Amino acid sequence: MRTLACGSTQAAGRWVAFAVALVGLCSCAGAEVRLICMPSEPQAPEMTDREQARAVREFVRQHREVLDDNTPAELQTRPKFARSVLGQRVLLKLTKEFVDQTGIAVRVEFVEWPYAYQTMVTRAKAQDGRPLVVQLGTTWVATLADEGLLQRLDELIDRDQYPQWILRVCGYKGRLWAIPATLDPRFIYYWRRGLDGRTLVFTQQDFEDWGAFEQACQRVRDMSAKGQAPAPLRGRLRAPLALSSYQDFDLLHNLSMWVFSAGGDIVAGGPDGGSMLTHEPAVATVHWLSRLSWDGLLDLPDAKNDDVFRAFTSGRYATTVAGTWGAKLAEEHFAADFPGRQWDEYIGVELPPPRTAGQPRRTFEGGSVWAMMCSGAPRAALGREARRYLEYLGQAGVATELARAIGHPAALISAEPYHLPGIDDRVVRDALSFGKTYPALPGWADSVEQRVVRDQLYVLWKQILGCHPSLPYPRSEVDYDTRQRALDETLVVTSHRMDELLFQRPPAADWVGLLAAALCVGLGFLCRTDSAVWLRWGFVSAVALVGMSFAVRLLHERPSLWHEVGAGILVLAALVPAIPGGVPRLQRTHLLFVLVLLLVVLAVVFLVPPGAWARLDAGVRERVHWVTTSWVSLNVLAALRNRLRRRKPQTAQGS
């Protein structure tokens, strides 16, 4: 019996081991590397609905081994996105070559740029240990690394093979979390001459500084008004300059490009960093763009960058902003609209003009990177396969072929020289040497590029557009000044919002808070009064100080006279319940003190300029909250102390 039991136990153990192995085999079977990326190669040309439906079915059939989730049914309901996916040939070809070489299954899913960030975060959190290979924007790395969704890739990156600035944005807390893929500086594309080959539109000298550029835009506008503009601008020109105001993160990048050219920054990193939108270079940039719109020199169509560039090559605008991908689009548009002509004979490419002549030309420097996302530790086998695929994407030959297909310079220095067809090597070299990007800040991707762009920067660009003379309102200097002040207020709101989202710091004790604490302690020991009065005093003090802080906050969130008056009324209304029927002399004195203090705060709110107040805002709010907390706490402690003092004689008498 004992032998039989032992044999049955061993058999059961073998069956359990076999079942575990079978489960592991089944879980590994069908295991595959998943890639989520954005369609970066030029999109397919426009076609009829029937032709596009046929092209989508054929495309999915040809790439069914590597394509995932982008089904014909989904693509046919989104025709513009479908054209973008139809253009993604090179990445799928290279991925299929990797699958054939290694036997590792890879499934590719394409998502649109505006929805990519949230899609990747959602998928990574739902993968349960299955890593995702993803294509990220350079500004997303620090946020995802801080959230613990990226895996370290230090061993896959040779630091000597990449520009140092992109390694800084791929790093966080001393580690590298992404492999640089492509670089994407912003350029100004402009019509150099008309299709007649003789009439000049813009020249290189027109980009010496802002003044020269503005004069050139006025010259082109006047030329069009007189009917002297060459084809394709004749009869089509809407404005000399066009910038996209579509509600996506390009609102931030297009603004950054001009702020950088003015010698400013969007935000300063480091422990003492903060938003710089209320500093002079950024304010001057917004005012200048507003003046261009007011004079009819700037149009802000609510369309994506690709569509704005298409309008530019068709002659509706004389200049626009685009990345290196603009060269690919120009080549395609000229082949379709002006066959037999080379686009770079008529269209020039330059960096944004500096604010004053002689300053270095700055521009926004973006790009994309490859990374591995996983919530928690990835499964060992899947993690190794994902790293092999990432290593393959980082090879010089693969990086070169992908960069050429996209139209961007490769980030890998050994991949290819920085030469882009149709763009002067000097311009590309200057862009890569003097380009700027944002500091690697956690929270940037979801806080700034999502919420701030959607809620504040979109409003800012629409206010700049609101200065356009074609809109039906009286054209007067008073109205222009009013709109400029509205822009200043929106900059203050945006700056405050960025500080709140990116630089949340615990309030620090400073001399203001210490002085208030010492005052409260001194009054608590000197005054002999009833504890109920002390509690009411503390309550009134708290309400008054919170109301003042509320007024300060409203100045930034909704800067208007009525909101400030409303904040004051709320404070006064909150004081009424704290006043009992008989008001002691001490409480009347304190109430008078609170009202005087409130009037002083409101006077400061009215008198201090918004820009100066914005620079003081973070410190002011921290001090107000700290004083409020300390005042309430010390008043409560003083009330308890007085209560104990009153009970001591009773205790002694009873004993």
Enumerate the domain spans of the chain: 28-182+369-416, 187-363+441-502, 511-654
Q: Which fold has domain 187-363+441-502?
A: D-Maltodextrin-Binding Protein; domain 2 (3.40.190)
Cα 211 to the center of its chain, rounded Å: 29
Structure tokens at 377: 């530790």
* H or E element at residue 492: helix 477-502
Rounded to whole angstroms, how far apart are CA atoms 512 and 531? 26
State the CATH class of domain 28-182+369-416.
alpha beta
Please state, for a pLDDT cut of 90, what percent of the chain lies above it: 34
Start-end of H helices in 320-422: 325-337, 380-393, 396-406
User: Which pLDDT belongs to residue 506?
Assistant: 38
Rounded to whole angstroms, how far apart are CA atoms 500 and 521? 32
User: Which pLDDT belongs to residue 69?
Assistant: 76
Q: Please enumerate in sequence order all residues whose Cβ is within 8 A of that of 34, keeping only pairs 6 or more positions apart, or say none.
A: 68, 106, 107, 109, 123, 127, 130, 132, 133
Q: Which neighbouring-strand residues pair with 350?
A: 188
Structure tokens at 24: 């592991």
Rounded to whole angstroms, how far apart are CA atoms 354 and 200? 22
Q: Do the beta carbons of residue 261 and residue 355 sit within 8 Å? A: yes
Looking at the whole model, is its pTM more than 0.75?
Answer: no
Q: What are the distances in angstroms from CA 525 to CA 511, 534, 632, 637?
A: 21, 12, 16, 11
Q: Do the beta carbons of residue 256 and residue 364 sit within 8 Å? A: yes
Collapsing DSSP to helix, strand or coil, 358 comes out as coil
Start-end of H helices in 343-476: 380-393, 396-406, 425-434, 458-465
Sheet containing strand 365-373, edge to edge, reads 106-110, 33-37, 132-137, 365-373, 179-185
Indicate if 187-363+441-502 has the same CATH topology as 28-182+369-416: yes
Low-confidence stretches of the chain (pLDDT beneath 50): 1-6, 9, 12-13, 15-30, 468-474, 505-518, 521, 524-526, 528-529, 552-564, 566-567, 569-586, 609-623, 625, 650-655
